[in-house]
Chain A
Amino acid sequence: MAAFRRLGLLACTLLAAPLSFAADTPAPRDIWHGAMAMQYAELSDASERLEASAARFCQAPDESLRQRLENDWLSAYQAWQAVRFIQFGPVEQNSRGWQLQFWPDRKNLVGRKVNGWLKAPAAPDAQAIARDSVAIQGFPALEYLLYDDAMEDGRALSDPNACALMQAITTHLADTTSALHRDWQAFGEHYLDMSDYTETTLASAIQALEQLEDKRLGEPMGLKGAPANGYLAEAWRSEQSVRLVASSLEGLRTGFLPGLTALLREADALPLAEAFRDQLDKTLAQASEQPSGLVPALEYEEAFRGLQSLYLDISQLRHLLGNEIAAELGLMRGFNSSDGD
């Protein structure tokens, strides 16, 4: 059923082609929409590979298939990080962002929901997952099944019920990401028509950098007034927190920077675009040099210093976009969903 729906989409994607040809210099929103469409396509493809990989593993669990499964899980999760800076449009429907990644999860809701299903007499199908909590629907729930201590170094995942739960989640995830890609294509005309979306796109990227600085690094590292707490990091179970940060930065480079450059060129402020690119590259290099996990770095001074440098680089990047570039472009920001506490 789900696979059918997705097949239909492929045709749509091929037909969608470029949405507008503005002669020599495409408009910033054209560039953004096209780059983001490719990122969503990659997310959808990676999620299908993950779904297939889970099915293969569950048929005959062995060590090499498990390794592939872990790799495919990480690739799809990274593809999501790359496009996570887009916090408007189709991703807002049905809380899809939370469906893919419910986080932060201070009270271990992911663990509770996974264990609820593991104790159930029968495993759910993808439809049952779709009706359930966002905490069971995405990458963190899969991470729990793959990496949590309660899964006995992965042995527990060979259990047919646990494996069927994992498959149901991967199918739901593939459905969600393919719908997201399709809806992003359909959203194109509206996105290109409404000039407000230029501001929305900028604000969304600024918010993503603020989240990187404050929530994804600052809070777990203990830089926001409370002691360090590794459980506040995303992907602490798999020790991939910093890897995911790097993927988000790469996503900004491919999905956001080209449109921003065009926008600043129009505003006759190309040096700001170059400054942003240079700082982004520097930050990316810094991120790639760090070990993939955040929690181990809380124990080792040298590793922690590396993370601090990364934190400062991101802070500068956020300042550049959120203050200097935003001021140059006259961006006024309103309320966002992370106001409040």
Chain B
Amino acid sequence: MPAIMLRRPLAAIVALSALMPFASVATAADDTVSADAVVHHYADLAHANYADALNAAEVLNERIDELLANPTAETLDAAKQAWLQARIPYQQSEVFRFGNAVVDDWEGQLNAWPLDEGMIDYVEGDDYQHELGNEGATANIVANEQIEVGGESLDVSEITPELLADLNEVGGSEANVASGYHAIEFLLWGQDLNGFEAGSGERPVSDYQTGDDCTHGNCDRRRSYLDAVSDLLVDDLEWMVAQWAPEAEDNYRQSLLAESDQEGLRRMLFGMGSLSLGELAGERLKVALEANSFEDEHDCFSDNTHNSHYYNGQGIQNIYTGTYQRLDGSVVEGPSLQDLLAQQDEALADNLSEQLDATMARLDAIKQAAEAESSPMAFDMMIAPGNEQGSELINEAILTLVAQTGSIEQAAGELGVTSLQPDDAGHRF
């Protein structure tokens, strides 16, 4: 008998499994995974993932402080590297967004896109297409102490984290993104003016120099902006880490665990399916490809979109396997959805497992093409009209994502989750 059994009286296990609708009595007690344990571990995964996102954002914040203290090509590059690193945990965490309103209501301030970057800083007029009807699209906060949006005159003379948080979606447009990863990305890289050609944004470090060395004007305000926006990112992530922290009262973790197991599983599966189909396969891959639209590229300033997609896919797989590899290389493991599903339907559990692997292989092919040493093909090149190789890479990823979504739906049915709709509480179907 495994050692773990010794610490758990048999009677307690029997009593426990009586409460679990999915635990099969026939299964050996030591193999049995309960829905409750799976949902608990889900909260642990979220906590570890957001803690990593926070750590990486703190490093980014430090690199930005160093850049501002001494603006050189090297400090700018170090800040960019820290930003790229920070995306790795954050993109994996997006699977928690759908299904958990606490994340969905908060994430706009961190990861909203596409954004009308002309609200933040200078843009090249000819190639800048902002959202139609968005009055804030050319506000240029860096260059102006007062901006006019929606018939209102706003005082933006002092650029603070609070001000930037308040400015998000100012005038009612989702494209008015004043803060978060993409605002920082724009401030580090600048506009990508290369269209479908190779190359990302090329903001000169002199945009952050003082006195006569300053380029594009208003360097002091641009420096304040970058400083404030990276502070805000850290503050926001601290808040989310606390929401998932164990042994805390009145946080989201507590309210999630107070819900039924069914509801916990529903939020997990809904997050996986929505990110797979509607968001990643749809909004982020298919729209960009079919419309040949680099305006719809996720990390468009840095050309890091391939990683953004790859780690979205990884996040979905994490929830299923109950595994998260932290930035320090250590691995968080525990009772998984896969284990739970295998108790009900082993074939389906294996099938979904293979489909998630297949998706990761397709997303990795995109990543490899984008990072190839000789003639790399970034995502914005893949979506160019007539690029058959590029569209094939993307289409294959879409197909595998669609396939896994079908199995996620089946898994929901198998696990007794009767509704995957996020907003139909109280309805019967």
Residues of chain A having any CB pair with chain B under 8 Å: 95, 98, 102, 105-109, 112-113, 131-135, 222, 226-227, 229-232, 323, 326-327, 330-341
Contact of A333 among B132, B275, B277, B420 (CB under 8 A): B420
A-contacting residues, B277-325, CB 8 Å = 277-279, 281-283, 286, 290-293, 295-296
B78 to chain A, nearest CB (A): 32
A113 to B421 CA separation, bound complex (whole angstroms)? 36
A323 to B419 CA separation, bound complex (whole angstroms)? 13
Q: Is B418 an interface residue (CB 8 A)?
A: yes
Q: Is B8 an interface residue (CB 8 A)?
A: no
Query: Using Cβ atoms and an 8 Å threshold, which residues of chain A touch B422?
Result: 339
- With known contacts A132-B385, A231-B132, A226–B419 Cβ distance under 8 A: no
Contact of A332 among B98, B278, B295, B418 (CB under 8 A): B418
Query: Using Cβ atoms and an 8 Å threshold, which residues of chain A touch B274?
Result: 335, 339-340
A105 to B98 CA separation, bound complex (whole angstroms)? 24
Contact count band on B: 35 or more
A-contacting residues, B401-422, CB 8 Å = 405, 408-409, 412-413, 418-422
- With known contacts A95-B286, A227-B150, A135–B291 Cβ distance under 8 A: yes
A95 to B290 CA separation, bound complex (whole angstroms)? 7
Looking across the interface, which residue of chain B has its beta carbon closest to that of A327? B428
A327 to B418 CA separation, bound complex (whole angstroms)? 12
Contact yes or no, B278 A232, CB < 8 A = no
- With known contacts A327-B427, A340-B275, A340-B282, A131–B421 Cβ distance under 8 A: no
Residues of chain B having any CB pair with chain A under 8 Å: 98, 114, 129-133, 150, 169, 171-175, 273-279, 281-283, 286, 290-293, 295-296, 385-386, 405, 408-409, 412-413, 418-422, 427-429
A336 to chain B, nearest CB (A): 7
A53 to B218 CA separation, bound complex (whole angstroms)? 55
Looking across the interface, which residue of chain A has its beta carbon closest to that of B274? A339
Query: Using Cβ atoms and an 8 Å threshold, which residues of chain B touch A339?
Result: 98, 273-274, 277-279, 422
Q: Told that A131-B385, A323-B428, A340-B98 touch, could you supply 11 new A-B pairs with CB distance under 8 A?
A: A102-B291, A107-B129, A109-B129, A133-B292, A133-B385, A229-B133, A327-B427, A332-B413, A336-B277, A340-B277, A340-B279
Contact of B405 among A95, A333, A335 (CB under 8 A): A335
- With known contacts A331-B429, A332-B418, A108–B279 Cβ distance under 8 A: no
A96 to chain B, nearest CB (A): 10
A-B contact pairs, 16 of them (CB 8 A): A106-B131, A106-B175, A107-B296, A109-B129, A132-B385, A135-B291, A226-B172, A227-B172, A232-B133, A323-B429, A327-B427, A331-B429, A332-B429, A335-B408, A337-B282, A339-B274
Contact yes or no, A109 B278, CB < 8 A = no
Query: Using Cβ atoms and an 8 Å threshold, which residues of chain A touch B173?
Result: 226, 229
A67 to chain B, nearest CB (A): 28
A107 to B118 CA separation, bound complex (whole angstroms)? 13
Looking across the interface, which residue of chain B has its beta carbon closest to that of A319? B427
A10 to B245 CA separation, bound complex (whole angstroms)? 65
Contact yes or no, A107 B114, CB < 8 A = yes
Contact yes or no, A227 B129, CB < 8 A = no
- With known contacts A107-B114, A107-B295, A333–B429 Cβ distance under 8 A: yes
Query: Using Cβ atoms and an 8 Å threshold, which residues of chain A touch B405?
Result: 335
Query: Using Cβ atoms and an 8 Å threshold, which residues of chain B touch A102?
Result: 291
B118 to chain A, nearest CB (A): 12
Contact of A108 among B129, B275, B292, B386 (CB under 8 A): B129
Contact yes or no, A98 B290, CB < 8 A = yes
Query: Using Cβ atoms and an 8 Å threshold, which residues of chain A touch B114?
Result: 107
A226 to B175 CA separation, bound complex (whole angstroms)? 12
- With known contacts A102-B291, A107-B132, A109-B295, A335–B278 Cβ distance under 8 A: yes
Looking across the interface, which residue of chain A has its beta carbon closest to that of B418? A332
